[in-house]
Homo-oligomer: A and B are copies of this chain.
Amino acid sequence: MLKPKITLKHIAKELEVSVSTVSKALKDYDEISKDTREKVQAFAKLYNYKPNNIALSLKNKRTKNIGVLIPDIVHHFFTTVIWGIENYANGKGYNVIVCLSDESFEKEVINMEMLANGSIDGFIMSLSAGTEAKKDINHLQEVTERGIPLVLFDRVTDDIDCDKVVIDDVLAGYIATKKLLEEGRRKIALLTTEDFFSVSRNRNLGYQKALQDFGMELNTDYMLRLEYTDVNEQIISDFLDRVQPDAVLSVNEVFGICGLRILQRKGLVVPDDVSVIGFTDGLLGRYANPSLTCIAQHGQKMGEIAAKMLIDRLENDQAEVPFRTQILKPTLIERETTIN
């Protein structure tokens, strides 16, 4: 009742030819007589023969698998990146193996070693919080030294030489802040994270730069550094009471949504009294009430580009092609938490 997978050997025995003949016949080598080819092909079709991927991988030294290592899958941004990677990779005949580092350095290292041991042809990854904090990238080094292509996206590091794709986070912070300043806002609160996140750091930089360009100076009292992991609404609430901002800029989506809600609960009207801008063009912002103006990071596009970069390296011999960093332009999506 269990019909095990059919192999070349089965076909060969059944048809009383050799394994090599079957293999060649299936690939239509004209070294094999037309008769035999047709017989073999018919038989193979009948029994729905498909070559074993594992054997192919071993032989060809390529798996047609891409390893994707991300810190987190619950955040919409990463989800859209995966979506983009899948999209492109599947079209090129690659499978995507997703592993989660769960923001932990150790899990990142373990998963990476696991996958690097033959399971995948190349990596696409975004650094875990643990890795960004620790600044230890030996595992990445290891992999690239072994000749396994690596593409970093979003959370990247300058300490390693490889293909990268990011958005211009400084510009993103700048655009958002500029938008608020142009609305006439002057007390712009910034909800941000620990500084070891490259993206937050850059967005903060953009914020500062915009203030400077408008002849204002940075008031660190207006900046609130929150733990990335769990959002403490009380802290945000107290902060907003203290600062009494006329605008709130958040470096991610969740902080922005929380800020919005807390402001509303204080009886403030958004955007009449306070404007709010968040990051990531996610569901949260889209379905908020009022819907959240935000900076789109183009996750899907980022994923597609990362996959393209990786597959290009895998398929063409690009050993001598220098590594590229592709920088996407962020886009301001104006919705209802800012004034049009």
Residues of A within 8 A of B (CB): 1-5, 50-55, 57-58, 63, 65, 73-74, 76, 79-80, 82-83, 86, 90, 95-100, 107, 111, 113-115, 117-119, 145-147, 254, 257-258, 260-261, 264-265, 283-284, 287-289
Contact = CB atoms under 8 A, between A and B. Distances in A.
A185 to B, nearest CB: 22
Nearest to A50: B117
B145 A3 contact: yes
Given A83-B100, A287-B258, A287-B284, A2 B115 contact: no
Contacts of A99: 86, 90, 95-96
A257 B82 CA distance: 25
A125 B185 CA distance: 50
A97 B95 contact: yes
Contact of A117 (B51, B82, B107): B51
Nearest to A260: B289
Most buried by B among A51, A79, A146, A264: A79
A100 B79 contact: no
A82 B260 CA distance: 30
A119 B53 contact: yes
Given A95-B97, A95-B99, A98-B96, A146 B50 contact: no
A257 to B, nearest CB: 5
B58 A118 contact: no
Contact of A97 (B98, B117, B284): B98
Given A118-B54, A254-B287, A284-B287, A82 B73 contact: yes
A284 B254 CA distance: 10
7 contacts: A2-B146, A4-B147, A50-B113, A54-B119, A96-B99, A98-B98, A265-B289
Given A52-B118, A86-B98, 7 more contacts: A4-B146, A4-B147, A54-B118, A65-B119, A79-B79, A96-B97, A261-B287
Contacts of A260: 289
A73 B83 contact: yes
Contacts of A113: 50
A258 B283 CA distance: 11
B53 A117 contact: yes
B146 A3 contact: yes
